Structure 1
Amino acid sequence: MDYPDLAPRARSWAPHLLGVLRIVAAFLFLQFGTAKLFAFPGPVMPGGGTAPLASLAGIAGAIEAFGGALLLVGLFSRPVAFLLSGEMAVAYFYGHAPQGFWPVLNQGTPAALFAFVFLYLAAAGPGRFSLDGLRGKDAP
């Protein structure tokens, strides 16, 4: 069965869905940073505490928390998404890949997925519902 009106309708939703992807990915990502820095919504560090800010985990947490917050509201979306993509690529190859080849076994699936979602957002832009769009810097 042919749906001739489906493709144009789907294309019209693309900027909205891109904005939703950005918001949801940033919200999920932001939690990794706040968990490392503030133990919110719960502690993830060994021993249940928070990461010292001058440590590798602390720096990663700061990038994740503040970068995730900027991406959530869509401010400086392209450069922030590119930075976060790079951070996740480094996290994957530094922390997960040495544990084995398969991401499902080395616990690297979230890092790999975030790296590629953020790389896509760096190229595609923030979509709708962004402060960049309101500023006229990246209007869809």
Structure 2
Amino acid sequence: MLSIDSKQVKTIEKKFLDEIKNLRSLWPKEQISLEELNKGKKSILLFSDDYHIFDENETNNIIQLIPPYFWKFMKVPILLKYNRDDEGRSWYNVMGDTWQKRFVEILLRGNYTIYGIEEINPEEFIKLIKKYKSLIFVSINA
């Protein structure tokens, strides 16, 4: 039987908590509207106090795709939460308000419904991430 003393447990726990802290530092501290994006703001602040710069081709594509009357309400980066159940099924939840859900729906389907998309499957995620790598952040459901 393997025995672990309390010092080893504390060391492992500290490493785990440090890694969580490191991952959190890479999460966006802010989101910006498409209106701000169109006016030239091309980066956001992360919790690490570093800046994340959006890819210019991706931002231009979004500005062309989304109608200007939505720019004030839709924000980048898009925040998704990865989920997996006990049966191995995985999906992503769109984080944010109805406008963010409509935003993702327009990007995936070219149109939107009143409520937008709340959940996307792995195939839809791959489609999004291939086109908009710099505009999407993913969190893990813990």
TM-score normalized by the length of structure 1: 0.37
Structure with bigger RCO (C-alpha 8 Å, 6+ apart)? 1
Answer 1 or 2: which has greater strand percent. 2
Larger Rg: 2
